[in-house]
Amino acid sequence: MTWTQHTSGLPSGNIVYSILSHDNLVFAGTVDGVYLSQDNGSNWQEFNSGMEEKIILSLAFDDNILFAG
């Protein structure tokens, strides 16, 4: 097994506190909010529309709704 770093689109120095896979999407909870990857983690984009709190320590899915807190 080998590991490959995939951080394209994540802020530098960002710590990922939580990671969640749902269907073909991967979500990461960080101190700068939620980031989304649609290509298995190779590239990331912010997914914070409408969020007031940006420090995300945990992620969960229920009925196709993403909960972040």
Over residues 4-54, the pLDDT tens digits come to 877 788 877 778 899 999 889 999 999 999 999 999 889 999 998 888 888
Instruction: Supply the pLDDT for residue 62.
Output: 93
Beta bridge partners of 66: 61
Instruction: Supply the pLDDT for residue 49.
Output: 85
Q: Where are the domains of the chain?
A: 16-68
Distances from the Cα of 39 to the Cαs of 51, 57, 60, in angstroms? 24, 23, 20
Q: Order of strands, edge to edge, in the sheet holding 16-22?
A: 16-22, 25-30, 33-37, 45-46
Find the mean pLDDT for residues 46-68: 90
